[in-house]
Amino acid sequence: MRVKYAAQIFSHTVSAAIKTASITKEVNSVTALDTADFIENINDIFDALNSRVLHDPNPKRRPLSVFNNKTTTILQNGIQYFQNIEVFEGNTKRNNIYCLDGFQWTLKSILLLWDHLRKLGVKYLLTGFLNQDSLENFFSVIRNRGDYNPTPTVRQCRIAIQQNMNILLQMAEGTGNCEIDEIEILEIDTQETNSSDQEVCVTSEGNDYSVSTESSASDCQLNISEETKQNASESVVTMETSSSIYVAGYLAHKIQKKFNCELCASYLIKDSNDLVEKNELFMLYKDYSCENDIKFLKRPSNQFVQIVLSLLKLFNEAFNKYKCSSKVTETIEHYLKAYLERSTD
């Protein structure tokens, strides 16, 4: 029932993880990279069908627009992609996989709707408005008005709708089967329209982005040099260390954003001109750059990586030691703070 969790399998992160694990030889499969490419393609289609804000930091999750046809291209390629999928059971080809036909109908319907709206002068279409999640979240809000009422009468439903519209539709519960809506209702003026055809490139995890007129990452494929692959396979780089460095980069970005200190940034983040190291493979695949370089994500310094790895190791030790104790969170936090104080002394 938790569709939001099932859909996360077809994500850019899972694809990047499989590619990294394949290069580090932690996944020994001749079909691993093909699986990663399949997941990446499905992720791109999901993103194009789930645009919720005008300037999304993800270049593939932006609305259908008269100023930018890249989302339209993703949906059109998606139709062709599903048409070419063949499913075999043993040596027998199956023709009764109806979800493949259903997905094509969905994509074609949205493109036909967009073509109609565009002729009426509509400049943007946020595809997140068209999925069922918004309706299910709305019903969840109605059911939870005045305690839980799964079968409200017509009168109760009408009153609940009026009350929620007066308070701008309060947020649905996070325990539902669908993701919480983050859709923007846009009032687009002339100034915003004129600048809307610029590309928004990811600079970091989260909602921080900068406007650029460079080509989008959705137009290119990431190619890792054979030398990088060979070095990664011969070293002790693992998926765990590579993902830990990615987390360290995220933490470094958050710290830099909070304190806005140039001196701190020089200790936390690497210079962008430094060569990509073998243990940064996961970041390389996660980045939206078209080049064989980490362009948008923050690369943590070696010193900060060591601090994060040490804290992760200490956390595991503390958790195994205090997991059955009372006030586990406070105890582990005190354990880590004591280590940091000893280190600074």
10-residue averages of pLDDT along the chain (345 residues): 81 92 90 94 93 86 91 94 92 88 94 95 90 75 72 82 67 57 45 38 35 35 48 66 91 91 89 78 80 78 90 91 88 88 75
Q: What DSSP character marks residue 300? A: B
d(CA 249, CA 257): 12
Give the residue among 111, 85, 173 at the shortest CA–CA distance from 136: 173
d(CA 316, CA 322): 10
Residue 74 burial by Cβ neighbours in a 10 Å radius (0-12, 13-18, 19+): buried
Percentage helix, strand, coil for the chain under 3-state DSSP, each rounded to 5: 55, 5, 40
Q: Whole-prediction pTM value?
A: 0.69
d(CA 326, CA 21): 38
d(CA 209, CA 56): 8
d(CA 305, CA 270): 11
In the prediction, which pLDDT does 4 show?
Answer: 75
Give the residue among 55, 15, 20 at the shortest CA–CA distance from 210: 55
In the prediction, which pLDDT does 110 show?
Answer: 95
d(CA 185, CA 178): 20
In the prediction, which pLDDT does 161 show?
Answer: 79
DSSP reduced 3-state for 86: coil
Task: Report whether 103 contacts 82 (CB < 8 A).
Answer: yes
In the prediction, which pLDDT does 123 show?
Answer: 93
